[in-house]
Amino acid sequence: MIEKVSEAVKFLKEKGFESPEVGIILGTGLGALTDQISIEHEFVYSNIPHFPIATVEFHKGKLIYGTLEGKKVVAMQGRFHYYEGHSMAQVVFPVRVMQQLGIEKLIISNAGGCMNLDWKKGELMLIEDHINLQPDNPLRGHEASAFGQIFTDMSSPYDQDMNERITAISNDRGIKLNKGVYVSVAGPSLETKAEYRFLRMIGADVVGMSTVPEVIAANQMGLPVSAISVLTDECDPENLKPVDIEDIIATAKNAEKELVILIQELIKNL
């Protein structure tokens, strides 16, 4: 795996992906931030050596390099999920590539189902901690040790400094920003009423199918990371209604404006 990462990094550097400072992963329905980037280079994933192929129809599958708020950034427009059939090594492959390219911070966004009944869909949640219910771990296996200690400490997986900056920005801009726990499940099917009750019982506020593998890999490599969820549907087991994926995408897009503000201002102030 280290050889494959090195080959992808070499290819991207030769194509002009030089010394990015910040990496960004844009989740489901959350691609508008790329409109704010002064793009210098972009490649579809299939043109980058060893990159997995994005199979989710609403993920564009591009790696973008350019300038945002005076910083060089590399952004994933679309991510990889375990439920697509990728291995965990493939899911976190782009994070390893971005770290080897030189990023010093990683910012992640995702769309998640809201189980906290005090919150509403369309709001944002800053992830303070997570619960990993994915059936595999990106640090499993001998190849992962090439990137750091596999027994990685996860007592504080999300960077406190960046989280404090995001909180201050939300207060200054009047953006409602909930804070809580994200639980990552395998998917792709959504949860039953009993499963929502269980996930809430074990301490989760929001459920999704991504993010945690990338956060684990970032922590292994000593890469500070922050993550924000867009709450795209309300998961009240006592009043559960069928979910329309198109409605989830629409809700994510409606919430993008505030998410973009938070990420732009954070990058400006890093």
Tokens of 177: 């920003």
Residue 58: per-residue pLDDT: 53
How confident is the model over 137-166, as pLDDT tens digits? Answer: 999 999 999 999 999 999 999 999 999 999
Binned at pLDDT 50, 70 and 90, residue 86 comes out as: very high
Please say if the pLDDT value at position 57 is more than 80: no
Q: Under a CB-based contact definition with an 8 Å cutoff, are residues 264 and 35 in contact? A: no
The answer to whether residues 68 and 76 touch, using CB atoms and an 8 Å cutoff, is: no
In this prediction, residues 105-123 reach a mean pLDDT of 95
Class of domain 2-269: alpha beta
Instruction: Over range 192-212, report the average pLDDT.
Output: 97
Residue with the two structure tokens 């292994």? 220
Alpha-carbon distances, residue 157 vs 4, 69, 152 (angstroms): 26, 26, 10
Q: What is the pLDDT of residue 60?
A: 67
Residue 29: which pLDDT band, with cuts at 50, 70 and 90? low
Q: In whole numbers, what is the pLDDT of the chain averaged over residues?
A: 93
Instruction: Name the residue ranges covered by the structural domains of the chain.
Output: 2-269
pLDDT grade, residue 56 (50/70/90)? low
Q: Which of 95, 170, 158 is nearest to 127 (CA)?
A: 158
- Model pTM score: 0.93
pLDDT at 32 over 90: no
Instruction: Check residue 53 and give its pLDDT.
Output: 79
| Predicted local distance difference test score (pLDDT) of residue 1 | 86
Amino acid present at 46: S
Which tens digit of pLDDT belongs to each residue from 119-143?
999 999 999 999 999 999 999 999 9
Hey, how many other C-beta atoms are within 10 angstroms of the C-beta on 108? 25
Which of 28-37, 191-200, 251-260 has the highest average model confidence (pLDDT)?
191-200
Burial class (CB in 10 A: 0-12, 13-18, 19+), 131: middle
Which of 27-36, 75-84, 140-149 shows the lowest per-residue confidence on average (mean pLDDT)? 27-36
Identify the sign of the CA torsion 95, 101, 102, 103.
negative
What is the spatial distance between Cα 188 and Cα 169, in angstroms, rounded to a whole number? 33
Q: Could you tell me which residue, 1 or 268, shows the higher pLDDT? A: 268
